[in-house]
Amino acid sequence: MMILGFVKMSAACLAIVAATLAAIVPLRAQFPTLPEGPNRELVEAVCGSCHDIEMVAINGRSEERWRLTIDEMAGYGMRVSPGDRALILGYLATYLPAK
């Protein structure tokens, strides 16, 4: 009977852990991510390499302001080819426009 009680306790513990995890996971998924669009993966890889991509995704900026942001990131040490830079700017200006 002791053993059975222990098994029941363990099952109850597991159920609590599972319920807690289930509650946490969707919360995590609510963090802003980049909208679907061409070159999304490129932007995620480049702009998510130094800080969370949320830092980018929460913003809405005009093309000019995104250009300045990219200049600022270059000042922090970001290295991208001119081609990738143009693709990134195009994505940001299109999918994260000024609010």
Where do contacts with ligand HEC occur on this chain (CB under 6 A)?
46-47, 49-51, 55-56, 59, 69-70, 72-73, 76-78, 88, 92
Cβ proximity to ligand HEC, 39 vs 70, nearer residue: 70
**CA dihedral for 46, 49, 54, 55, sign (positive or negative):** negative
Residues 6 or more apart in contact with residue 32 via CB below 8 angstroms: 54, 57, 58
Residues 6 or more apart in contact with residue 48 via CB below 8 angstroms: 56
Cβ proximity to ligand HEC, 5 vs 82, nearer residue: 82
Closest distance to ligand HEC from the beta carbon of 25 (Å): 26
Closest distance to ligand HEC from the beta carbon of 77 (Å): 4
- The answer to whether 34 and 70 have CB atoms below 8 angstroms apart is no
Cβ proximity to ligand HEC, 12 vs 98, nearer residue: 98
Cβ proximity to ligand HEC, 9 vs 52, nearer residue: 52
- The answer to whether 41 and 22 have CB atoms below 8 angstroms apart is no
Closest distance to ligand HEC from the beta carbon of 28 (Å): 20
